[in-house]
């Protein structure tokens, strides 16, 4: 949550419209469209007789004439009858062309914006790997294409206090066993060994909560269909980390010999027992 910025609704309006969800975006366009047509309908209605063939005192005729003018439809039934109406019609035509151009530009920017459909597990796990406790986060590529030259990075955010008592929010980079893969096609597991050099060394669930720990993972790469850079990110709070658990295997072999991946299991974990570690 952000406070104290005193931002107006019109500040950075273009960026705000790009970040809106599609339902809210279409609702915004519909509200703006109706508002503009209502405004010009009131201007036409202000002068009785300004619209040819319009029924006297009927506002909806003025509104529908505004819609026809705004969209440059021109059915030929309603038409400007006075110089005043022609002046308002000229202004509305200019506004209509500008509105169409802006809406088309924003729509194209939203559609053409490259995105990566990366599925992150809802939980991270800490499980033994090669005899060392290892933090793991599982990812899946939802699209049927590939992300080329994919790079993953993992950071720890935590609260600290300086020697002077100043409260700070600091980032620590967590070294991954493998941070780069030439092809990210199905799944990828980011792994960080919690050894003596790790910022997570010696921290359990209670300690992570006490320092306000948060894990931030980002994935970048090149979409092999659009040849454009794409990225995805996800954060995990301390409560999203399961100690002593391992991810359930998502892969299986089909009867025809092909490898199958079940993304429905991406969040599934299993408790690791000492006997499992020994084997």
* pLDDT, tens only, 217-245: 999 999 888 888 999 999 999 999 999 99
Q: What is the mean pLDDT of residues 3-7?
A: 64
CA distance readout (Å), 257 to 38, 213, 241, 253, 260 = 64, 43, 35, 6, 9
Q: Does domain 13-112 have CATH number 3.40.50.300?
A: no
Taking the domains of the chain in order of start, what are their residue ranges? 13-112, 118-278
Query: For residue 161, what pLDDT is reported?
Result: 85
Q: Which fold has domain 118-278?
A: Immunoglobulin-like (2.60.40)
Q: What is the mean pLDDT of residues 147-173?
A: 90
Compute the distance between CA of residue 241 and CA of residue 259 in angstroms, rounded to an integer.
Answer: 29
Q: Helix (H, G, I), strand (E, B), or coil: what is residue 20?
A: coil
Dihedral over alpha carbons 82, 84, 85, 88 (to 10 degrees): 160
Cut 0.85: pTM above it? no
Structure tokens at 233: 């990110």
pLDDT tier, 95 (very low <50, low <70, confident <90, very high otherwise): very high
> Long-range pairs for 73-77 at CB < 8 Å and ≥24 separation?
77/53
133 Cβ contact list (under 8 Å, min separation 6): 126, 127, 193, 194
Longest dimension (CA), the chain: 92
Kindly state the average pLDDT of the residues 18-41.
94
Name every residue whose Cβ is closer than 8 Å to that of residue 47 and which is 6 or more positions away in sequence.
82, 84, 85
> CA dist 4 to 9, 159, 174, Å?
15, 22, 33
How close are the terminal C-alpha atoms of the chain, in Å? 47
Taking residues 17-35, what's their average pLDDT? 92
């Amino acid at each position: 949550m952000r406070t104290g910025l005193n931002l107006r609704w019109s500040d950075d309006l273009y960026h705000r419209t790009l970040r809106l969800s599609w339902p809210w975006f279409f609702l915004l366009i519909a509200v703006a469209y109706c508002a503009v047509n209502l405004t010009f309908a009131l201007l036409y209605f202000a002068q009785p007789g300004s619209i040819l063939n319009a029924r006297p005192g009927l506002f909806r005729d003025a509104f529908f004439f505004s819609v026809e003018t705004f969209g440059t439809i021109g059915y030929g039934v309603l038409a400007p009858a006075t110089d005043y109406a022609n002046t308002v019609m000229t202004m509305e035509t200019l506004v209509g062309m500008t509105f169409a151009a802006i809406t088309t530009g924003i729509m194209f920017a939203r559609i053409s914006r490259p995105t990566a459909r990366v599925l992150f597990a809802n939980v991270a796990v800490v499980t033994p790997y090669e005899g060392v406790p290892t933090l793991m986060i599982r990812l899946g590529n939802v699209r049927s294409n590939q992300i080329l030259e994919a790079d993953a990075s993992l950071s720890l955010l935590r609260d600290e206090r300086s020697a002077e008592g100043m409260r700070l929010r600091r980032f620590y980079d967590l070294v991954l066993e493998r941070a780069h893969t030439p092809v990210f096609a199905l799944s990828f597991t980011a792994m960080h060994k919690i050894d003596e050099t790790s910022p997570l060394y010696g921290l359990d669930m209670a300690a992570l909560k006490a320092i306000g720990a948060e894990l931030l993972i980002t994935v970048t790469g090149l979409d092999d269909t659009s040849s454009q850079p794409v990225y995805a990110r996800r954060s995990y709070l301390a409560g999203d980390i399961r100690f002593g658990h391992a991810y359930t295997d998502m892969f299986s072999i089909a009867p025809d010999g092909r490898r199958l991946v079940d993304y429905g299991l991406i969040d599934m974990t299993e408790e690791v027992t000492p006997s499992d570690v020994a084997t």
